[in-house]
Amino acid sequence: MNILGKLSINALPHDMVTLGGAMMMIVAIIFGIFYVTYTKRWSWLWKEWITTTDHKKIGVMYIFVSIIMGIRGFADVVLLRTQQATSVGASHGIVSANHFQQIFSAHGVIMIFFVAMGFLFGIVNLVLPLQIGSRDVAFPFLNATSFWLFAAGMVLMNASLIIGNFTYAGWLSYPPLSELKYSPGVGVDYWIWSLQIAGLGSLFSGINFLVTIIKLRCKGMALMKMPLFTWSVFGTMSLVILAFPILTVTLALLYLDRTIGTHFFTASGGGNMMMYVNLIWSWGHPEVYILVLPAFGIFSEVVSVFSRKRLFGYRSMVLAIWAIVFLSFIVWLHHFFTMGAGVDVNAFFGMMTMIIAVPTGVKIFNWLFTMFRGRIKFNASMIFFLGFIFLFTLGGVAGVMMAVPAIDYQLHNSLFLVAHFHTMIVSGVLFGDFIGVMYWFPKIFGFKLIDVYGRVAAYLWIIGFVVAFGPLYILGLMGATRRLDHYPAYTGWQPLFIVAGVGVFIIALAVLFQFIQLIVSYRKRNDNIDITGDPWDGRTLEWSTSSPPPFFNFAILPEVSNRDDFWEKKQRGLNSNNKEYTDIEIVKNTPIAMYIGSAACLFGFSAVWHIWWLLILSLIAVIVFIMIRTTDEETEYILTASKVAEIDKKVQWKI
Amino acid sequence: MKKTLRFIFITLILLCVAVFGTMFLLHGKNIAVLNPKGLIASKEKGLIITVCLLISIVVVPLFFLTIFTAYKYREGNDGANYSPEWDSDPLLEIIWWAIPAAIILVLSLIVWHTSSTLNYYKPIKSKVPPITIQVISLDWKWLFIYPKEKVASVNFIEIPQNTPIDFELTSDTVMNAFWIPNLAGQIMTMPGMETKIHILAYNKGTYYGVSSNISGSGFAGMRFAVQVSSLKNFNKWIESANRSSNILTMTSYKKLAKPSSYNHKKIYSLKDTGLFNAIVENYMVPVFGGPIMLTDSKG
């Protein structure tokens, strides 16, 4: 028996495109290491970031990872679009069919798990404790562990590019194609374990934030006085807690099928592949709402602030969130109307799916009436928001169409479907995340982003999106299915695929402007310093502390008596009542979360390659690290009241 | 600067939408789903249009309202009302809960109704006797069996017009989906299970079908031609196919079932009429002794 399991020299990349990608990644890593060494930042990196338990820094790290992964996911898109624009008739394009299938599988996994989820948890981490007037999340160490598990999943996923390969069965890898018989390589195992580990991190975050919202709201913040972003995170985290265990179990069963020969989902031997499809979508459908609800929360905050008006229909909005949370669990079957379920079953799930359009529509009308009789400031955020309204509504129309089973038969798995869910996720989730980052950026870094670059980026994103996905709607109606690495010339699809490629180019330009925005704003940061802590004339508590906030967020915990309490107080004139500082308990920095993440990554890697001794060793390591942490009596230290006062004075002096 | 930027980009966005519309019109004849050539696809197209019209009752006013609001209440337009405290209006909120709900109610009735009328498992009523075609998805090609006519073909079907066709489908590999956009929407094929679809083609011509569910490296090559011809020509085709020197039995099937991609059309004369059932049952072999029943939904 091989000591390295299935791992051998053959696992290294063979073809040019993978080799190129792997080389680029290795060069980037080496460059990163060199840069940190050159600027002598290792100890800074260790002390300030790697060992941190501060939610704000963890949030920044989430977003950093998401941006890096976004670049990789986007590089995949460029390959996919080039392939589909050129692989016609006699030509078979730039990559092999198998490689093409790995690329789109990786694209889906990266964009959902490591970009959209990363942005989501990043923004929630940055904002939520500040917004509810808390000093940190309920379990800061668990929060750091969540991040490092997320990072571990990300590393494992990217390792597949260099060592081995990735699944070619799509981002949800349906069996039997993902079973050992049809996918004998390690690709599916990489997919299972990167999702398994990152998914566990998500579950921990879900528990953490739910407890944070329930237990750590500041004095006076009754549930119906919570800002809408907090409400939507509340909904999201409930979904995370209910949905992610399903994913964990499903992936575990698939792994058992592949390694010890069980027959949960196999084609023969009494397995039931349809059960897998049901299970994966019982998680998968709530997952899309997990992504989009926080974005809805962001829109609610931003529209209200930039229209300088109270949010319209607060109660309707809260009701809509919970309607969506509830309904999102009873619509999963609409992902496979074409599997041949009975008439009543299809009809029921079709109707439930359509009903979700009602609370979503209500939210859109409420945002519109928040703008109505307001004073709308058209900055980059609001342009993204208007783009969202139009694109998301059109995507929603496509969604309602596909909710009718009889129509879905014609549109399912076509590029029409691909265009539909990209419309929802790009305009809903991604635009929301962009807005969130631009909006809360000054709070975290202390300076504003220069708006003009953001405006150009917003317009380019909208144009690029229409050019890239408009043709896909048409192609889907023409009978083009998704995931095609090649098609005959007589289909007449090529011009449309080329137009879609141009769209990707325009989006690339938009992304370039976003990077320019970041870089230029950083270099000219002294012109855009936010000294007040409240650059947008905000309404919620996060704007009541300094930018950036001290590591304990609030020197004195706020008390509220109203919704939009900060705004109300500003209207009535700020009353800086007597300042009585108290001692604060702060969680110490610790590298153990990172150790747990590293061990988990090793565990995943050995599970992929069947290196059993390493698997046991890394599992023991995880357990030992957890024991060390739980038996440590001194995980916190006391920041004395006088020290708090001192830091607070400094901050005020800065103002 | 700000205004110019806005002007340029909004013009560009409108231009994109216009180009999109033109593309749509240019490709009009080529858009299979909107140019149905059979009974089921025609009904599905009708349904698409009905649903679009119904949703536009909400969507069109929403878009106009958005443009109006964004324009009127922009910063700097001091003539417009400004009521920063106006945050609820029960009547308005009831309206936008109720109107979408009413439309969704109508749509739900449509869903309920069409789920049974456009049920693929329901045979099509016609005076013409139906033809049964058994469909097996393989790695990576389609095998079609005409059990009564004793003919089989790879990546090619010939059917007579205005005749109901009863497809019985399964897979002897991973999941696939059977889709002929001009004639009907798709249905999945799965190993060890039988799914069904009934179609009826109106117009003569050649249409194309595909597999729409990823099934491995040869997936893109799973295209097949559907020749809709007159009954006379169809019978002629059956006759010539019967005389084919390619004979399909379990043995030659096993050779055919081995992975291959981008297969050309091939016609067989069928010797083993129980082939389809044998393939379905092949996956039902119990592992642990006791019989395991896999049932498919009968709709």
Whether residue A529 lies inside any domain: the answer is no
Tell me the shortest Cα–Cα distance from B53 to chain A, in angstroms.
10
CB B151 within 8 A of CB B165: no
Do residue A406 and residue B43 have CB atoms under 8 angstroms apart?
yes
Pairing of strands B247-248, B266-270: parallel
Q: If you compute the radius of gyration of chain B from its CA atoms, what whole number of angstroms results?
A: 26
Asked if A269 has any chain B CB less than 8 Å from its own CB, the reply is yes
Could you give the C-alpha distances from A20 to A29, A161, A175, in angstroms and in order? 14, 10, 31
Phi and psi based region of residue A174 (left: phi greater than 0; alpha: psi -120 to 50; beta: remaining): beta
The DSSP code for A487 is: B
Question: Taking CB atoms and an 8 Å cutoff, what residues of chain A touch B190?
Answer: 267, 273-274, 339
**Neighbour tally for A515: CB within 10 Å:** 13
Do residue B31 and residue A477 have CB atoms under 8 angstroms apart?
yes
pLDDT for A442 beyond 60: yes
Whether residue A324 lies inside any domain: the answer is no
Do residue A340 and residue B121 have CB atoms under 8 angstroms apart?
yes
Query: pLDDT above 70 covers what percent of chain A?
Result: 98
Mean pLDDT (whole number) for A262-269: 91
- Closest CB to B299 among A268, A316, A340: A340
Query: pLDDT above 90 covers what percent of chain B?
Result: 75
Per-residue confidence at B79, pLDDT binned at 50, 70, 90?
Answer: confident
The single residue listed with the structure tokens 């897998």 is A276
CB A487 within 8 A of CB B262: no
- Closest CB to A375 among B73, B89, B112: B73
User: What is the count of structural domains for chain A?
Assistant: 1
Tell me the shortest Cα–Cα distance from A407 to chain B, in angstroms.
6
CB B96 within 8 A of CB B61: no
Mean pLDDT (whole number) for A505-534: 94
Here the tokens at position B167 are 């497809």
pLDDT for A651 beyond 90: no
A61-94: pLDDT as tens digits: 999 999 999 999 999 999 999 999 999 999 999 9
The average confidence (pLDDT) of chain A is 93
**Using CA atoms, how far apart are residues A62 and A56, in angstroms rounded to an integer?**
10
pLDDT for B24 beyond 50: yes
Do residue A270 and residue B48 have CB atoms under 8 angstroms apart?
no
B257-284: pLDDT as tens digits: 999 999 999 999 999 889 999 999 888 7
- At residue A86, the pLDDT reads 95
pLDDT for A244 beyond 50: yes
pLDDT for A342 beyond 90: no
Question: Taking CB atoms and an 8 Å cutoff, what residues of chain B touch A483?
Answer: 214, 219
Whether residue A533 lies inside any domain: the answer is no
Do residue A314 and residue B87 have CB atoms under 8 angstroms apart?
yes
The verdict on whether omega for the bond into residue B259 sits within 30 degrees of 0, i.e. cis, is no
The single residue listed with the structure tokens 């405006």 is A455
The average confidence (pLDDT) of chain B is 90
- At residue B289, the pLDDT reads 47
* Three-class secondary structure of residue A495 per DSSP: helix
- At residue A575, the pLDDT reads 61
For A281, the domain range is 1-289
Q: Which residues pair with B229 in a beta bridge?
A: B160
Side chain identity, residue B219: F
- At residue A572, the pLDDT reads 83
Phi and psi based region of residue A573 (left: phi greater than 0; alpha: psi -120 to 50; beta: remaining): left
Asked if A373 has any chain B CB less than 8 Å from its own CB, the reply is yes
Query: What count of CB pairs under 8 Å joins A to B?
Result: 325
Sign of the torsion formed by the C-alpha atoms of A203, A206, A211 and A214: negative
Mean pLDDT (whole number) for A273-279: 95
Residue B74, φ and ψ in degrees, nearest 5 = -65, 155
Whether residue A204 lies inside any domain: the answer is yes
Residue B266, φ and ψ in degrees, nearest 5 = -145, 140
Which parts of A87-186 fold into alpha helices (H)?
Answer: 97-109, 117-131, 140-162
Per-residue confidence at B292, pLDDT binned at 50, 70, 90?
Answer: very low
**Using CA atoms, how far apart are residues A496 and B244, in angstroms rounded to an integer?**
41
Mean pLDDT (whole number) for A537-561: 91
Q: Which residues pair with B224 in a beta bridge?
A: B209
Query: pLDDT above 70 covers what percent of chain B?
Result: 94
CB B183 within 8 A of CB B45: no
- At residue A652, the pLDDT reads 66
Those of residues 305-364 in A touching chain B at CB distance below 8 A are 307-316, 336, 338-347, 350-351, 354-355, 357-358, 361-362, 364
Helix (H) or strand (E) holding A267, with range, is: none
In terms of average pLDDT, the best of A629-643, B125-139, B285-299 is B125-139
- At residue B298, the pLDDT reads 39
Whether residue A159 lies inside any domain: the answer is yes
**Neighbour tally for A385: CB within 10 Å:** 25
Per-residue confidence at B291, pLDDT binned at 50, 70, 90?
Answer: very low
Asked if A509 has any chain B CB less than 8 Å from its own CB, the reply is no
Tell me the shortest Cα–Cα distance from A498 to chain B, in angstroms.
13
CA-nearest residue of chain A to B196? A340
* Three-class secondary structure of residue A481 per DSSP: strand
CB B148 within 8 A of CB A372: no
- Give ipTM to 2 decimals: 0.93
First to last CA, chain B: 62
pLDDT for A568 beyond 60: yes
Here the tokens at position A320 are 């809509």
Could you give the C-alpha distances from B129 to A145, A457, B162, in angstroms and in order? 67, 61, 10
A346-372: pLDDT as tens digits: 999 999 999 999 999 999 999 999 999
Per-residue confidence at B5, pLDDT binned at 50, 70, 90?
Answer: confident
Those of residues 384-423 in A touching chain B at CB distance below 8 A are 386, 389-390, 393-394, 397, 400-401, 403-414
B132-178: pLDDT as tens digits: 999 999 999 999 999 999 999 999 999 999 999 999 999 999 999 99
Mean pLDDT (whole number) for B41-54: 94
A123-167: pLDDT as tens digits: 999 999 999 999 999 999 999 999 999 999 999 999 999 999 999
Mean pLDDT (whole number) for B196-218: 95
pLDDT for B58 beyond 80: yes
Q: What's the longest Cα–Cα distance across chain B?
A: 86
**Using CA atoms, how far apart are residues A526 and B30, in angstroms rounded to an integer?**
57
Whether residue A219 lies inside any domain: the answer is yes
Per-residue confidence at B1, pLDDT binned at 50, 70, 90?
Answer: low
Phi and psi based region of residue B30 (left: phi greater than 0; alpha: psi -120 to 50; beta: remaining): alpha
Q: What CATH number should be reported for the domain holding residue A18?
A: 1.20.210.10
**Using CA atoms, how far apart are residues B22 and A60, in angstroms rounded to an integer?**
44
- A395: which residues sit within 8 A by CB, 6+ positions away? A420, A421, A423, A424, A427, A428
Estimate to the nearest angstrom the gap between the alpha carbon of A150 and the chain centroid.
Answer: 11
Per-residue confidence at A403, pLDDT binned at 50, 70, 90?
Answer: very high
- A292: which residues sit within 8 A by CB, 6+ positions away? A424, A425, A428, A429, A432
Q: Convert chain B into a string of H (helix), E (strand) and C (coil).
A: CHHHHHHHHHHHHHHHHHHHHHHHHHCHHHCHHHCCCEHHHHHHHHHHHHHHHHHHHHHHHHHHHHHHHHHHCECCCCCCCCCCCCCCCHHHHHHHHHHHHHHHHHHHHHHHHHHHHCCCCCCCCCCCCCEEEEEEEECCEEEEEECCCCEEEECEEEEECCCEEEEEEEECCCCEEEEECCCEEEEEECECCCEEEEEEECCCEEEEEEECCCCCCCHHHCCEEEEEECHHHHHHHHHHHHCCCCEECHHHHHHHCCCCCCCCCEEEEECCCCHHHHHHHHCCCCCCCCCCCCCCCCC
- Closest CB to A390 among B33, B63, B104: B63
In terms of average pLDDT, the best of A566-570, B17-21, B93-97, B156-160 is B156-160
**Using CA atoms, how far apart are residues B265 and A334, in angstroms rounded to an integer?**
34
**Using CA atoms, how far apart are residues B72 and B91, in angstroms rounded to an integer?**
23
